[in-house]
Amino acid sequence: MLHYQNQWLKQLHPHAISSNSDNIAFHYLSSPPNTNPIWTDLIQSNRKDFVAANTLVDKMKDLSDPRIPLYFTTDASGGYSGGIYGSGNNFSTFSKPSNRITDPTLESIFIDYSEVEFLKAEAVERGFNVGGTAESHYNNAIGASIEYWGGDAASTTAYLANPKVSYATATGNYKQKIGEQKWIALYNRGFDAWTEFRRLDYPQLVAPVDAETVLPRRYPYPVQEQNLNTKNYNDAAAAIGGDKVDTKLFWDKF
């Protein structure tokens, strides 16, 4: 967690990342074993069991998001659709990750301009003096994401004019506005998207129908810790309110 807090402070520094050209990423090569892991998992292995999830696709369709064709392939009907997440879905029916996502050389982003601008938008709303307005940073964040994935300025302008996207008219408080757009921008960065979903409480996702628990807020401690480090395990579990998937971590409570 100290890493995350330090990252927050670093990103609010006046000399933080200021364009997509400053993005920090790990670059892969075109030949194994140094390729994008998604290419390895889905293309090299010839897997036919991963499709887009309805949660993200439906949200982007509702917003007429210009990144849909940049994130996904078309489905069997020539449009865009996601399978019901947590359920069995027919591979040939739904959209899949785009060719950009499955390219063997696709870089892995550690931190980018879009994320920095979303953090600055939130910082303004929380009363920090980082310059600019929440709306300007929010707009910069969305524009940076669209640009990174290959969209143009006209697409960004039209998208930001959408009343469902515009900071002035989008539904909810700043956590909802920033949280939902940041979740979209963090596509292909699942762990980061999960962190932001927990931290901002948006989008308001629900667990699959047959899920045994609510959507996890944390990973439980490993069974090995329970067996070999029992006293410390019990103390740690008690200190956080129980070793459960729905126990909120300290940074997930504000």
Buried b / exposed e along 199-212 (16+ C-beta atoms within 10 A): bbebbeeeeeeeee
DSSP 8-state class, residue 129: -
Domains of the chain, earliest start first: 2-200 (1.25.40.390), 223-252 (no CATH)
Q: Report the C-alpha gap between 59 and 113 in whole angstroms.
A: 23
Which pLDDT score is estimated for 3? 45
Tokens of 138: 């929010």
Which pLDDT score is estimated for 209? 86
User: Which backbone phi and psi does 20 adopt, to 5 degrees?
Assistant: -65, -25
Cβ-Cβ contacts under 8 Å for 31 (sequence gap 6 or more): 104
Q: What string of DSSP letters covers 8-68? A: HHHHHSTTS--SGGG-EEEPP-SSTTSS-HHIIIIIITT------BHHHHHHHHHTT-TTH
DSSP 8-state class, residue 249: P
| Distance between first and last Cα of the chain | 15
Q: Report the C-alpha gap between 89 and 76 in whole angstroms.
A: 13
In order along its 254 residues, the chain shows pLDDT tens digits of 444 444 444 444 556 799 999 999 999 999 999 999 999 999 999 999 999 999 999 999 999 999 999 999 999 999 999 999 989 999 999 999 999 999 999 999 999 999 999 999 999 999 999 999 999 999 999 999 999 999 999 999 999 999 999 999 999 999 999 999 999 999 999 999 999 999 999 999 989 988 999 999 999 999 999 999 999 999 999 999 999 999 999 999 87
Which pLDDT score is estimated for 11? 47
pTM of the shown model = 0.90
Given a contact cutoff of 8 angstroms between Cβ atoms, the answer to whether 119 and 11 are in contact is: yes
